Structure 1
Amino acid sequence: MTRSGPLVVVGDVLLDIDITGRADRAGPGAAVPVVDFVSRRTRPGGAGLAALLAAAATPEVVLVGAFGGDAGAERLRRLLAGRVRVTELLLHGSTVRRQRVRTLGGSAPTHAPDGPATDRAAESSAPRARAPAAVARVLSGSGRAGTDPLPGSARAALRSAGAILVADHGRGVTAHPELRALLAQRARQVPIAWAPHPYGSTPVPGVALATPDRSYAAALVPGPFDSGIRARELVRRWESRSVAVTLGAHGAVFYRHGARAYFPIPVPRQLYVHGSPDAYGAGDMFAVTAATALHTGHGLAYAVRRAVESAAEFVWAGAVSGTPPVRDLQQHA
């Protein structure tokens, strides 16, 4: 049964820009591609993307994020208008922009994610068509959320929430002391899914589910440990009810407080994509799906299992670019 109240997304709102071009030649005297411009697309990123993904599956979504007064912030407001309800915190500095340059020409990427040997063999033997590939990412903008008094609209949104997703992207929203105190209070009353970031703040105690990726979990718990042991340690350290360490193409490892063991949740074989597909935004989809499942009254294990499937489906469909990856005919054999 869906909990009363909206799904509230809290976090750093970024402006994502995809620049797509053809790269059929290299520059003279340098082994770098020359990208001839084809198209440019902008969209909300960070918590903004998470809110839009949530709105596709949830009737009422509220986004609590920091916005500035520059052209980038105005663009974000227009992109979000009519799709999610926005409650603004004050952003100090300019809107953070993440620009990704993708090419349509040249050879398709040949690097494949770690997987079963049979999968790698099939990948190497199958003919491949050319596919769009990211060749550069540029991050700009100085914006950070400060410690200004929390607006009454933000407090009201959090107090009315049926569930909360914290989408941290390391730009200060999750460090706001008043916001953290309110999140810690609400964690005792509604489920909170927290997607942490290496440059962000740690989850508040009582979070229902935290979703660090494998590299971040390894940085937090260094040593010769597997992801399941790291998940168990992070449950203890963060005082959370559960942790799911995401593993990209291999799904996730889930551990719940008090359980005798952790367990892996693999990507269903029919959704496994060979090669190097565009997975941009898959982590947001994972966290959104888990939060949505908790919002509709499902348990933690179900939420993580459904999140793995949903993130894989998202990549299968082309992720944020909407360009499905090239797939082998043998995949379903």
Structure 2
Amino acid sequence: MISGGPLVVVGDALLDIEVEGRADRYSPDGHVPVVDVTARSFRPGGAGLAALLGVHDVAEVVLVTGLADDPAGERLRAALPSRVRLVPLPFAGSTVCKERVRAVGPCAGAGADGTPVPVTRLDFGDGRVSHDSVTADARTAIASACAVLVADYGRGAAAHPEIRALVEKQARRVPVVWDPHPRGPEPVRGAALVTPNRDEAERFVPDRPDFASRAKVLTDRWAARAVAITLGADGAVLYRRFQPSALHVPIPAERRAPAAADTCGAGDRFASAATVAMSEGAEPDNAVRHAVVSATEFVRRGAASAFATAQAASPESDRTHADVVARSVHW
């Protein structure tokens, strides 16, 4: 367990909505499946999921994030466990929601053993962390952290000038792990570990032939101590500053998840597990090995869907969902 201060997660909290149903026919308006909804569930997403995962490893988690005062924001707050202490950042706009539609049936595509397959995803909500001054509570939380995880989802928390200065200062004394986003800023200098995924690394460094060289380029570019590129079923590639070569960390064969397994949230689990390991003194090599195994186990146990609060489809749930959507979208 972490001692000497809380695990502090800084970033953009989202509301994730899972919609499941059956797709037995196509729409007459176009060749797209019609999904008859059978269930709907809600869970914290983004930095909210990273904080939720943290409570399974540590005694105290603080989530520094922006939250809107709307139905989706209320549902997001309610979905966070009581052991996550919320510290608000200045925020403008509506709660950002990501609604994932999955279905079974002949029009949904191939699914193993009746497992729902993704049909589409809808993103709505325009909220962002504003550049207004942060509270004394936010400054104290970051300064007291024994480790900081920055979960950037491109909604302004990681770009806030004061937050960046606080995190960069804290990086001189405790591990800072930065999970970047293509629409977000570069990590602060001195991060102990930066964890882009495969697609992000290819976008950040398009002119290199392999992930080992990309990890080295990013380590130098960001003045990070190490960069671990997560590669899904292929594990991760780690480069440590000033080392002669990169390290490939595969997933142990006996721990591999099924090929069709849901991987939603695996990157958050990887980053949170690595942060906890480094806060306990692990070197980046061992922290990444631990994170690869933790993310794989997370996927084997149902990934982020296992943390959702289910709600059977009904007229009442449809009205609740409609209110969440209506208050999160500016028409």
TM-score relative to the length of structure 1: 0.88
Aligned counterpart in structure 2 of residue 189 of structure 1, from 149, 158, 173:
173
Aligned counterpart in structure 2 of residue 272 of structure 1, from 256, 267, 292:
256
Q: Which residue of 1 aligns with 2:328?
A: none
Amino acid at match of 2:233: A
Q: Which residue of 2 aligns with 1:177?
A: 161
Contact 1:68 1:90 (C-alpha < 8 Å) held by counterparts: no
1:74 positional shift: 1.6
5 Å-filtered alignment, 1:72-83, equals 72-80=72-80, 82-83=82-83
Q: Which residue of 2 aligns with 1:70?
A: 70
Matched residue of 2:115: which SS?
Answer: coil
Q: Take 1:297 and 1:145, find their aligned partners in 2: how far apart are those partners?
A: 32
C-alpha distance after superposition, 1:272-320 (max 9, x if no partner): 2343321000010000100111122222111100111111111111111
Q: Which residue of 2 aligns with 1:147?
A: 131
Long gaps (5+) in structure 2 = 308-331
Between stretches 95-104 and 270-279, larger displacement belongs to: 270-279
Q: Take 1:224 and 1:257, find their aligned partners in 2: how far apart are those partners?
A: 18
Q: Take 1:109 and 1:75, find their aligned partners in 2: how far apart are those partners?
A: 31
1:189/1:224 CA distance change after superposition, 3 Å:
closer
Amino acid at match of 1:311: A
Q: Take 1:224 and 1:155, find their aligned partners in 2: how far apart are those partners?
A: 39
Q: Take 1:29 and 1:207, find their aligned partners in 2: how far apart are those partners?
A: 51
Long gaps (5+) in structure 1 = 112-127, 324-333
1:107/1:314 CA distance change after superposition, 3 Å:
farther
5 Å-filtered alignment, 1:53-132, equals 53-80=53-80, 82-106=82-106, 128-132=112-116
Matched residue of 1:175: which SS?
Answer: coil
1:109 positional shift: 5.7
5 Å-filtered alignment, 1:246-265, equals 246-265=230-249
Aligned counterpart in structure 2 of residue 230 of structure 1, from 195, 214, 222:
214
Q: Take 1:34 and 1:67, find their aligned partners in 2: how far apart are those partners?
A: 33
Q: Take 1:281 and 1:133, find their aligned partners in 2: how far apart are those partners?
A: 16
Contact 1:109 1:275 (C-alpha < 8 Å) held by counterparts: no
Contact 2:195 2:229 (C-alpha < 8 Å) held by counterparts: yes
Q: Which residue of 1 aligns with 2:297?
A: 313
Contact 1:23 1:105 (C-alpha < 8 Å) held by counterparts: yes
Contact 2:261 2:299 (C-alpha < 8 Å) held by counterparts: yes
Matched residue of 1:129: which SS?
Answer: helix
Contact 1:187 1:208 (C-alpha < 8 Å) held by counterparts: yes
Q: Which residue of 2 aligns with 1:210?
A: 194
Amino acid at match of 1:70: D
Q: Take 1:216 and 1:131, find their aligned partners in 2: how far apart are those partners?
A: 28
Q: Take 1:306 and 1:107, find their aligned partners in 2: how far apart are those partners?
A: 39
Q: Over aligned residue pairs, what C-alpha RMSD do you find?
A: 1.7
Contact 1:21 1:38 (C-alpha < 8 Å) held by counterparts: yes
Q: Take 1:265 and 1:146, find their aligned partners in 2: how far apart are those partners?
A: 38
Contact 2:2 2:58 (C-alpha < 8 Å) held by counterparts: no
1:33 positional shift: 1.3
1:225/1:205 CA distance change after superposition, 3 Å:
same
Q: Which residue of 2 aligns with 1:284?
A: 268
1:35 positional shift: 0.7
1:110 positional shift: 5.5
Q: Which residue of 2 aligns with 1:32?
A: 32
Contact 2:90 2:133 (C-alpha < 8 Å) held by counterparts: no
1:63 positional shift: 0.3
Matched, 1:304 2:288: yes
Q: Take 2:29 and 2:284, find their aligned partners in 1: how far apart are those partners?
A: 55
Contact 2:2 2:276 (C-alpha < 8 Å) held by counterparts: no
Matched residue of 2:89: which SS?
Answer: strand
Contact 2:11 2:64 (C-alpha < 8 Å) held by counterparts: yes
Q: Take 2:86 and 2:106, find their aligned partners in 1: how far apart are those partners?
A: 41
Contact 1:209 1:241 (C-alpha < 8 Å) held by counterparts: yes
Q: Take 1:57 and 1:322, find their aligned partners in 2: how far apart are those partners?
A: 17
Amino acid at match of 2:211: S
Matched, 1:23 2:7: no
1:108/1:262 CA distance change after superposition, 3 Å:
farther
Matched, 1:245 2:234: no
Matched residue of 1:322: which SS?
Answer: helix
Between stretches 18-27 and 148-157, larger displacement belongs to: 18-27
Matched residue of 2:121: which SS?
Answer: strand
How many residues in Structure 1 have an aligned counterpart in Structure 2? 307
Q: Take 1:77 and 1:322, find their aligned partners in 2: how far apart are those partners?
A: 18
Q: Which residue of 1 aligns with 2:318?
A: none
